[in-house]
Structure 1
Amino acid sequence: MKVESLEPRSLWRNFVALNAVPRASKKEERVIAFMVAYGKQLGLETIKDHIGNVVIKKPATEGMENKQTVVLQSHLDMVHQKNGDSDFDFDNQGIDMYVDGDWVKAKGTTLGADNGIGVAAIMAILAADDIAHPALEALFTIDEETGMTGAKQLDPSNISGTILLNLDTEEDNELTIGCAGGIDTTTVYKYKQHPIEQNSTAFKVSIKGLKGGHSGMDIHKGRANANKLMNRLLYNGGKVLDLQLSTFEGGSLRNAIPREANAVVAVSKYQKEAFLSFIDDFSELIKGEFQSIEPTLSISAKETDLPAEVLDKNDYHKIVNALYAVPNGVFRMSPDIPDLVEASSNLAKVIIKDGEFITLSLQRSSVESTKGDVAIAVGAAFEIIGSTVTTSGDYPGWKPDADSEILSLMSKLYKVSFNDEPNVNACHAGLECGILGAHLPGIDMISFGPNIHGAHSPDETVQISSVNKFWHYLLNVLEEIPTS
């Protein structure tokens, strides 16, 4: 079955159309134009603000004019991640999707269900003439995944709604009423290089096959970080072998747990067999530690061309020690909300190349002071060796409101519709609601969505039956919105 033939058909057709448009964060020009054209084609008031957010306004259906105006909000950008053996070109290709039982998946890349399903649902409502709803303001923001730029620079004069439905939650039984804030940390260190030793043999060491995933929603699941594993290999290898390091490149986006890392190292020809034996032993050790979590983990070493230069020994030890020391993963669990990660850090990217050692990481916390504390801890590990440390992209969290009117309504509707209690929670992801709430004081906000697994990784998938559940629940909520 084709994706566009799934039900609800209007939603899935829009998802297919959206996924045909390349829409990487900070490269949203084409998807912005796509959305502006969509609104104008429908004959609806369509606004593009100064930063690129798109607002499409639709009047209330007959008899719903006295209801509160609702903001339907999702972000246009998606995380572009692919498997290392894929030659997919995100800049010029649409996502290649297929149906697998009750799930929609992509071939070797992220799917874009985060947040494309939310966008597609809003598009379907805007185009429908048989759905009862109050006045709507569809807000499509940009650059959510790498900086929250659209939310931060929103022009609030384009929004008058008093209720905001954020369609960016990834479990269909959850009603999210709070989220973590975040801050990016970048470190740079200039290291010395010298010619590779004579009679050396070089190897490309690769770590791949990890699950990766969302650096907020999946950070507590114990998944391996490819950068930390590679550094562990380099640290331990350097203790027993005369290991020379030429390059180290691992990870990608700050909000994705690194799935792959590669390093080029060299040893004396006399230590070649000892090195290969070390790799086998290390691989067996790590696979044993992660056998239940990372079943497709692979660690390999293949001979490669000799590099011209390698790191100075002193810098080699400084760098691997700093990478070993840097906090990664869960930093603190919330003492107030059961099972909620309060603070974490993701060592997202490591580059050691051409005399420069760079790291990119993302710290998250639902408590502002803890967020700053984690960022300091991360920076300190690199400041000790003389790195330059800078922070950027700071955005606030969203404080839960247990007395929210829209929460009360949606909880009741969920119980009636599904004969079950919704899971009302706060999440460790960086939803835009905290930032949007600062622009729109007093607006009542909630986040929900369908089941999406593996977001920010090529394993991303969305459940078809869950999308159907989410869709009908959304329409029910719109019909029951209270009066002004």
Structure 2
Amino acid sequence: MSKEVRQLEPKAIWNKFADLNAVPRPSKKEERVIQFMVDFGEALHLETFKDEVGNVIIRKQATKGYENRKMVTLQSHLDMVHQKNSETDFDFDTQGIEMFVDNDWVKANGTTLGADNGMGVATIMALLESKDIPHPALEALFTIDEETGMTGAQGLKGGLLRGQILLNLDTEEDDEIDIGCAGGVDVTAKRSYSEKPVPRGIVAFKIEVKGLSGGHSGMDIHRGLGNANKIMNRVLYNSTEKFTIRIAEINGGSLRNAIPRESFATIVLDKSQEESFINNFHDWVAVIKRESKVTEPNLNITLEATKKPKVVMGLGAQEKLLKGLYAAHNGVFGMSATMNDLVETSNNIARVQVKEGKIKIGCLTRSSVESAKMDLANTLRATFELAGCDVEFTGQYPGWNPNPDSKILVVLKEQYKKVFNEEPKVVACHAGLECGILGQNYPNIDMISYGPTIKGAHSPDERVSISSVQKFWKFTLDILKNIPE
């Protein structure tokens, strides 16, 4: 499949992207891609080293005539989000991504594509390998673990980088120039519950919520997409209102930065209620699907008989769990008062696990305003504590405060208009970029972020526009030619 991708223009990028996608690179398991990048830099006889946390830095001298221009740090992250359709047989730890071309899009076969942030990585690799592209001195910074904690950016010590300008190649609309982003915090709720033996005279069912779009829990949160954990909870809550439903297990969602696409639950109820429950279940499903027919046309909620479990949740814990999840905020919490159409604060109820006497609920709360981020985090803490959970905040990272007076912003705006004959959109995004963290140890570096058009990031629907990559490459080459002294 990658042969077709390798023939795309610009081949300099697509060949490096295909090379990169042949290397398994899950977050927190980046050993192979780190070595891949070190080998790449050393094979080019460029200054190449790895810092103590695993970030890779490669430096290349300026081409003739550009020696007096400011040094540019090009930055992207090596790891990728691993999501796949439940029916897809694929091992992210051992297999390379299977890509194919569909009109103007490059896609993956039932998995995430890795264009986030592989297109940025491939672009930097193409620039480092080039022999005929004019550019100032370049410093490539390839960070690790951006998707599950930004520990690479957090572990990068001050004094390592030499660049005066940083180009972060990690945004997803080719007509936007990004000057700010949201910070985030992981909110995790846990509790134990007593398990009760399953009584006689019961029937067991498996409920599945599938077919949702999923997506990036920052960039896509405003789209009103379905959250599998909230939909499953609604089904279970409605079921307990009329029937003696007992929950044996719930397994919903996966990564905190991905809107959950699937959820699975095992329940039991008294056999005498079976027929009535099935009829009511289908009525509830019809209502939910009608509500979601525009945003989630492929939503599928199914019920099928299954093997009887040995134990179920105690009623008290079950009631508190369902009410807590119902009350917990999911989606947009507030819009920015300073930037039009920017989500300021949101939450993604990303993961719900109920099994073997343990409950674990994982959320990712984001905001471009630190106080608002913690306000929503505390709202969730209060909600889950009322449900009997212990709550902890971890993985906090800061936002990136917009600098409308950035000198490199002036360059990008001028060159975008010159090259494409239109004004770019200067925005801040609701995703978490590493710029905010990097700015803590490098406060004087002038940062900007841009990238090609990528849709469906963090989901198996992830795809990157071929024509947009061509536009992005052209823009990047023009930027490097116009870096000031």
* TM-score bin, normalised by smaller chain: over 0.9
Q: CA deviation at 1:82?
A: 0.3
Partner of 2:205: 203
Partner of 2:322: 320
Counterpart code for 1:115: N
- After TM superposition, the structure 1 = structure 2 runs for residues 103-142 of structure 1, keeping only pairs within 5 Å, are 103-142=105-144
- After TM superposition, the structure 1 = structure 2 runs for residues 300-449 of structure 1, keeping only pairs within 5 Å, are 300-449=302-451
CA contact (8 A) 1:453 1:461 kept: yes
Q: CA deviation at 1:282?
A: 1.2
1:224-282 Cα distance to aligned partner (Å, 9 max, x none): 10000000111110001110110011000000000000000011111111121122111
Q: CA deviation at 1:379?
A: 1.2
Out of 167, 180, 183, the position equivalent to 1:181 is 183
SS in 2 for 1:391: strand
Q: CA deviation at 1:385?
A: 2.4
Out of 298, 321, 337, the position equivalent to 2:300 is 298
Regions of 4+ moved over 4 Å: none
CA contact (8 A) 1:46 1:56 kept: yes
Q: CA deviation at 1:156?
A: 2.8
Partner of 1:74: 76
Counterpart code for 1:199: G
SS in 2 for 1:376: helix
Q: Distance in 1 between matches of 2:136 and 2:433?
A: 24
Q: Distance in 2 between matches of 1:385 and 1:288?
A: 30
1:290-345 Cα distance to aligned partner (Å, 9 max, x none): 10010100000110000000111111111100010111111111111111000000
Comparing 271-280 with 293-302, which one deviates more in the overlay?
Answer: 271-280
RMSD: 0.7
Q: Distance in 1 between matches of 2:275 and 2:134?
A: 72
1:41-75 Cα distance to aligned partner (Å, 9 max, x none): 00000010000000000000001000000000000
TM-score, normalised on structure 2? Answer: 0.99
Partner of 2:102: 100
Partner of 1:451: 453
Partner of 2:288: 286
Out of 235, 243, 250, the position equivalent to 1:241 is 243
Q: CA deviation at 1:157?
A: 2.4
Q: CA deviation at 1:352?
A: 0.5
CA contact (8 A) 1:279 1:300 kept: no
1:411-435 Cα distance to aligned partner (Å, 9 max, x none): 0111111111101000000000000
Counterpart code for 1:327: H
Partner of 2:230: 228
SS in 1 for 2:428: strand
Counterpart code for 2:428: A
CA contact (8 A) 2:24 2:96 kept: yes
Q: Distance in 1 between matches of 2:452 and 2:311?
A: 51
SS in 2 for 1:350: strand
SS in 2 for 1:462: strand
Tell me the number of residue pairs that the alignment of Structure 1 and Structure 2 aligns. Answer: 483
SS in 2 for 1:475: helix
Gaps of 5+ in 1: none
SS in 2 for 1:381: helix
SS in 1 for 2:238: helix
Give percent identity, aligned residues only. 57
Q: CA deviation at 1:155?
A: 2.5
SS in 1 for 2:226: coil
Q: CA deviation at 1:439?
A: 1.2
SS in 2 for 1:178: coil
Q: Distance in 2 between matches of 1:136 and 1:372?
A: 38
SS in 2 for 1:21: coil
Q: Distance in 2 between matches of 1:440 and 1:462?
A: 31
